[in-house]
Amino acid sequence: MRVLVTVKEDEMVDDEFEIDGLGISEQYVSYELNEWDDYAVEEAVQLSEAAEDDEVEVVTATIGPERSEETIRQALAKGADRAVRVWDDDLADADVLDPTMKAQLLAGAVEEVEPDLVLTGVQGGDDAFGATGVALAETVDYQWAAVVNDLDLDEAAGVASVHRELEGGVEELTDVDLPAVLSIQTGINEPRYASLRGIRQAQSKPLDVYTPDELDIDLADLGSKLTLTSIAEPESESNTTLFEGDAGEQAEQLGDLLEDEGVVEG
Amino acid sequence: MSDVLTVAEHRQGELRPVSHELVTAGRELADANGGELHVAVISGDVDAYAEAVNRTGVDAIHTVEHGEEFNHDVYSQAVEQLYADLDPQYLVMPHTVNGLDYAPAVATSLDLPLATDVIDFSHNGSLSVTRETYGGKVEADIKVTGDRAAVTLRPTEWEQATEAGDAVVEAFDAAIDEEAIGSTVTGFEEVAGGDVDIGEAEFIVSIGRGIEEEENLDMVWDLADALGATLASSRPIVDNGWLPQNRQVGQSGKVVTPDVYVAIGISGAVQHLAGMSSADTIVAVNEDPDAPIFDVADYGIVGDLFEVVPELTAQFE
Ligand SMILES: Cc1cc2nc3c(=O)[nH]c(=O)nc-3n(C[C@H](O)[C@H](O)[C@H](O)COP(=O)(O)OP(=O)(O)OC[C@H]3O[C@@H](n4cnc5c(N)ncnc54)[C@H](O)[C@@H]3O)c2cc1C
Ligand SMILES: Nc1ncnc2c1ncn2[C@@H]1O[C@H](COP(=O)(O)O)[C@@H](O)[C@H]1O
C-alpha cells in the first residue's frame, strides 16, 4: 500500500511585522512544516510502522519553490520514504494559490504516485482555506472525509473507518471507501520529533522535482481565480483596559479586579 | 443568472443557527445584483427545516428528501443538480466542519472559483471577499475572477435572520445516484464528560500554547487552585495530551459562559473565540499586544505569563 501525504510549508509571521505591498516583509517571515500536515505525516508513518514487511510506502507531495525542500526534509526525517515537489517559477507570480488550483497540481502528483490513501491537513496555518484536500479528492475521483481525528484502516476490505470531528464535542463515525483523501485534524496522534538519525537519513532520501508540464498539467489552463488586491492589519476592535506597570503591579491590579468581580475573596 | 443559492445546515434533528446567518448574507449578495435568494434544505425532516429557515429575505426553498443526516455525496449531488436547475450566480455555503466536507467538492465539480472562510464581501460589478490569514494577523481582500463563484462563510460573522418569512417551499426531485455514494455515516459520539463540566463553571482560568511545556502547567494549576477557578485550555494543550478533552474551550470543545474568563497565552483564534466570547468579563494575558484575544478582552495584561502568573498566585495563596 502507498500513502501520499501532502505537505505544505507554512508561512509564519512574527508578532511584530510590516506589510510590504501584497506580502509580509521578508525579515518577519519564517517557514515551518504546516502544523496539520505534521499530524498527517505522523499518521502515515504510524501506518507504515504498524504494517509488516515494509508494505506501506509513505510519499510526500508539496507544491513549493526550492526553499520548501527544507520543510520536505523535515517530513522525510520524521519517517516519510520519499518526496515529490511540484513547481514552476510562473507559480511564484501568483500571490494566492487557490485551493482548486492546488488540487489540480497535487492531482498530477497523485497520478504519478498512485496512492491508495492520501492524507492532507485540515488547513494551512497561513491561508487557512481548509479546502485543498476535498478539492483534490473530487479532482482525482477518490472518496474523502474532512476533519478526521481518528483513523482505522481495513485494507483488505478497502475501507477507512474514521471519526470526523464536528462542532461542540460531537464526532461523526464514517466508513469511507478506498482510495480516499482524508484531511487530518490536529490531536489525532502525537507527532514525533525527528531523531538525529532521521535527520541524517532524510538527506539521502529521494526528492523528485516535477514541473507541471512534466505532470501533463498546462499552467495556462489553471490560473488562480483569486487575486489579492490588498492586505492590512485588521483594525483593532479592542476596548481592553490594560493594566500597566511591572509584572507585580499588573498582577496586583488583576487581583483587585477579580475581587471586585466577586470571583475571589481578598 | 443573478440569483443566490445557499444551503441550510442541520444536525441530529436541529437546524443549525448558521443557516439563518446564510440567509442574511445571501440576501445581501442577492440584493447587490437584484436577484433572488434560494435556500436548499437537504436530508432529514426537510419540511420542518424548511419551516425553520423560512425567514424574511428568502424567496424560495427547495427541499431534497434523502436520508437522515448529512452525507457529502448526497449534498454534492443535490447542490449540483439545483445549481443546474436554478442557474444561480453565487453559491453560498457555511464554513463549518460539514461545509468543509462538501463545498470544495461542489466548487470543483462545477468549475467555480472557491473562496472559503469569508468574513465580508462587497459587490461592485464583481465579487470581492475579505478573509483572515496568518491566524488572524492579517486581513486580505481578494477579487474573485469571473462572474460566478462559490463562497463559504465564517459562522457568526453575519446576524441571524429572525423574522418569519413567506417563501414558497418546493420539493426538488434530485436524482441521487446511490452508486456514487462512497461513504456511510455509522453513528455519532459525544466527547466523554470527564471530571468537570467547564460549561457550568463561573470562574475559568484558561491556558494556551504560550505555556510551552507540559511541566509548566503546574504553575497554572497552582494559580487555578489559589484563585478557586476551574482550569480550561485552548486546543493545542488538549492535542498534546496535557489536559483531557473535556477541558477544551472552543468550536470543537465546549462553549463556556463564566462570569470571568482569564485567557493566558491564548492568541484568540476564531475557533477559540467561538467557545468563550460570551463570558461576562474577559481578561487576557499575552505578550503580543496585537493578539486577536484583545479584540474581545475587557481587561488585559501585555506581558510575560511566566512573570505574571506566579505574582498573581502569590497574592492569593
Ligand atoms: C476545525 C477546527 C476546529 C478547532 N477547534 C478549536 C477549539 O475548539 N478550541 C481552540 O482553542 N482551538 C481550536 N482550533 C485551533 C485554532 O485554530 C488555534 O490553532 C488554537 O486556538 C490556537 O491555540 P493557542 O491560542 O493556545 O495557541 P497560539 O495561537 O499558538 O497562541 C499562543 C499565544 O501565546 C502567546 N504567548 C506565547 N508566549 C507567551 C508568554 N511567555 N507570555 C504571554 N503570552 C505568550 C503568544 O503571543 C500567542 O498569542 C480549531 C481549528 C480548526 C481548524
Ligand atoms: N502548497 C501545498 N503543497 C502541498 N500541500 C498543500 C499545499 N497547500 C495545501 N496543501 C495541503 O492541503 C491542506 C489544506 O490546505 P488549504 O486548503 O490551503 O488550507 C494542507 O494541510 C496541505 O496538506
**Co-location of A167 and A204 in the same domain:** yes
User: pLDDT, tens digit, for every residue of A124-153?
Assistant: 999 999 999 999 999 999 999 999 999 999
Q: Which of residues 180-239 of B touch A (CB under 8 A)?
A: 182-191, 202-203, 227-229, 235-236, 238-239
User: pLDDT, tens digit, for every residue of A17-46?
Assistant: 999 999 999 999 999 999 999 999 999 999
For residue A189, what is the domain's CATH number? 3.40.50.620
Ligand 2, atom nearest to A86 Cα = 3
In this prediction, residue A266 has a pLDDT band, given cuts at 50, 70 and 90, of: low
Tell me if A229 is assigned to some domain: no
**Co-location of A7 and A56 in the same domain:** yes
**Co-location of A213 and A248 in the same domain:** no
- CB contacts < 8 Å between A and B, how many? 263
In terms of Cβ atoms closer than 10 Å to its own Cβ (0-12, 13-18, 19+), residue B218 is exposed
Tell me if A77 is assigned to some domain: yes
Distance A185 CA to ligand 1 centre (A): 14
Inform me whether the pLDDT recorded for B16 exceeds 70.
yes
Mutation target vs B (from A106, A258, A260, A265; most B CBs, 10 A cutoff): A258
Inform me whether the pLDDT recorded for B52 exceeds 90.
yes
The DSSP annotation for chain A comes to: -EEEEE--EEEEE-SS--EETTEE-GGGEEEEE-HHHHHHHHHHHHHHHHSSTT--EEEEEEE--GGGHHHHHHHHHTT--EEEEE--GGGGG-S---HHHHHHHHHHHHHHH--SEEEEES--TTT----HHHHHHHHHT-EEEEEEEEEEEETTTTEEEEEEE-STTEEEEEEEESSEEEEEPTTSS-PPPPPHHHHHHHTTS-EEEE-TGGGT--HHHH--SEEEEEEEPPPP----EEPPSSHHHHHHHHHHHHHHTTSS--
| Nearest of B108, B93, B101 to residue B182 by alpha carbon | B101
Q: Does ligand 2 lie within 6 Å of residue A71's CB atom?
A: no
Tell me if A231 is assigned to some domain: no
User: In this structure, are residues B23 and B53 in contact, taking their beta carbons and an 8 Å threshold?
Assistant: yes
In this prediction, residue A224 has a pLDDT band, given cuts at 50, 70 and 90, of: confident
CB contact under 8 A, B139 and A232: yes
A133, A174, A251: residue with CB nearest B184 = A174
Q: Return the best residue to mutate from A84, A120, A123 for the ligand 2 pocket (most ligand atoms within 8 A of CB).
A: A120
**Co-location of A106 and A206 in the same domain:** yes
User: pLDDT, tens digit, for every residue of B60-71?
Assistant: 999 999 999 999
Q: Does ligand 1 lie within 6 Å of residue A74's CB atom?
A: no
Inform me whether the pLDDT recorded for A221 exceeds 90.
no
Q: Which of residues 5-44 of B touch A (CB under 8 A)?
A: 11-12
Inform me whether the pLDDT recorded for B174 exceeds 80.
yes
Inform me whether the pLDDT recorded for B116 exceeds 80.
yes
CB contact under 8 A, A243 and B300: yes
Mean pLDDT for B4-19 is: 97
Range of the domain at A247: 240-266
**Co-location of A260 and A182 in the same domain:** no
Tell me if A157 is assigned to some domain: yes
Burial A120-157 (b: 16+ CB within 10 A, else e): bbbbbbbbbbbbbbbbbbbbbebbbbbbbbbbebeeee
Distance from CA of B219 to the nearest CA of A (A): 15
Catalogue all structural domains in chain B, each as residue range(s) with its CATH number: 4-180 (3.40.50.620), 198-316 (3.40.50.1220)
Domain count within chain A: 2
Distance from CA of B166 to the nearest CA of A (A): 31
**Co-location of A78 and A17 in the same domain:** yes
Q: For a pLDDT cut of 90, what percent of chain B falls above it?
A: 96
Distance from CA of A52 to the nearest CA of B (A): 27
| Nearest of B37, B44, B92, B47 to residue B66 by alpha carbon | B44
B114, B143, B188: residue with CB nearest A131 = B114
**Co-location of A16 and A129 in the same domain:** yes
Distance CA A62, CA A217 (A): 15
Distance from CA of A206 to the nearest CA of B (A): 31
Tell me if A135 is assigned to some domain: yes
Mutation target vs A (from B43, B98, B114; most A CBs, 10 A cutoff): B114
Burial A187-226 (b: 16+ CB within 10 A, else e): bbbebeebeeebeeebeebebeebebeebebebeebebbb
Distance A193 CA to ligand 1 centre (A): 20
Mean pLDDT for A249-257 is: 97
Tell me if A233 is assigned to some domain: no
Tell me if A235 is assigned to some domain: no
For position A185, what pLDDT does the model report?
98
**Co-location of A142 and A253 in the same domain:** no
Distance A248 CA to ligand 2 centre (A): 44
A239, A243, A264: residue with CB nearest B228 = A264
In this prediction, residue B111 has a pLDDT band, given cuts at 50, 70 and 90, of: very high
Q: What are phi and psi of B238, to 5 degrees?
A: -75, -40
Distance from CA of B25 to the nearest CA of A (A): 19
For position B28, what pLDDT does the model report?
97
Instruction: Compute the mean pLDDT over every residue in chain B, rounded to the nearest whole number.
Output: 96
Chain-centroid distance, C-alpha A239: 34
Tell me if A256 is assigned to some domain: yes
**Co-location of A87 and A139 in the same domain:** yes
CB contact under 8 A, A264 and B316: yes
**Co-location of A130 and A244 in the same domain:** no
User: pLDDT, tens digit, for every residue of A152-191?
Assistant: 999 999 999 999 999 999 999 999 999 999 999 999 999 9
CB contact under 8 A, B301 and A137: no
User: pLDDT, tens digit, for every residue of A38-70?
Assistant: 999 999 999 999 988 768 999 999 999 999 999
**Co-location of A192 and A244 in the same domain:** no
**Co-location of A30 and A157 in the same domain:** yes
User: pLDDT, tens digit, for every residue of B176-208?
Assistant: 999 999 999 999 999 877 788 999 999 999 999
Considering only CB atoms, which chain A residues are within 8 Å of B285? Answer: 254
Residue whose CA is at the smallest distance from ligand 2 atom 21 = A121
